[in-house]
Amino acid sequence: MFLLKNFFHVFCIKAFLATTLLHNTELHASCGMGICPLPVAGGANERALAGTGVLPSQLALETRYTSFDIGGRGSYVQNALTGVYEHRFFRAGGFLPMIALSGPQGNTFGLGNTTLFAEAYLITRPGIRFSLGSQLETPTGNHARGLGADHFMAVPYANLWQQLFNWRFALLLGLQQTVGHHSHAHNTPVLYVNPHTDTELMARLMASYTWLGRYSAETNVHFRQALGHDATGDRVFLDLGAALRIAIGEIWALRLGADFPVTSRARMLWQTYAAFFAYF
């Protein structure tokens, strides 16, 4: 009840603010490593991916519920606002999360770690796009309460999209590296939200099929290999996910999905999410 009461109100307020700032134009979606999934079909997005036009920018609101067993069973709800600006030669954006955590040490609420990213398009041919970029997670979350890491974290990555008729594929490869000094002492607070080690190899493979120009069924694989000297226990994390996307008119879209761990349940037991997109 603590999670649901707080986040129902927060999500409604953010949705109202986002929709009042947008105007009636056309459609798309995408972003940096770990922030956004595949583009949504329909409107300007369909035409831009088939050619070399500028993709529409976006705002997105997502509510995500994650269950975990990290020193005890718990869960958190994350409401996040994502913004992405698209240009012919690059894209840039950010991710602002608010988190309600119900963990082994009690309940807490606050800002999580905010994330910024930018990437440059190297290839923009009909049906294919390739870009290089980097993501930077900043320590804005309360580390003592387990809401975020106490250090910066950079993720340089490569991003490849391919469109084949009604199919879309994406492959993202990145290397996560912590930046700056931080402690690994035994009395360091437990990180419940997005736990990680200092250095990790990351990959995401995604595929979707669109029918009737409006509905998209999506599947994804998320792989992480812990490489850092601080890694203990499981080092390989493989998650599988599925989602349904629905384009609503020319500027809106809804995405519902869930992810489940395959090789290790050390970081999460399962998670589910609902996201609302607006394009301009």
**What DSSP state is assigned to residue 214?**
T
Whole-model pTM? 0.80
pLDDT digits (tens, 9 = 90+) for 16-59: 333 333 333 333 333 455 555 455 555 666 667 667 678 888 89
Predicted pLDDT of residue 162:
87
CATH number of the domain that residue 142 is part of: 2.40.160.40
Q: Which residues of the chain have pLDDT under 70?
A: 1-47, 49-50, 52, 141-143, 146-150, 181-192, 196, 230-231
Q: How far apart are the C-alpha atoms of 35 and 37, rounded to whole Å?
A: 7
Predicted pLDDT of residue 71:
83
- As for how many domains the chain has, the answer is 1
- Look up the domain containing 179 and give its range: 2-279
Predicted pLDDT of residue 221:
93
Using alpha carbons, list the distances in angstroms from residue 163 to 68, 82, 170, 277.
Answer: 35, 24, 9, 21
Predicted pLDDT of residue 15:
40
pLDDT digits (tens, 9 = 90+) for 116-147: 999 999 998 888 889 999 999 888 866 677 66
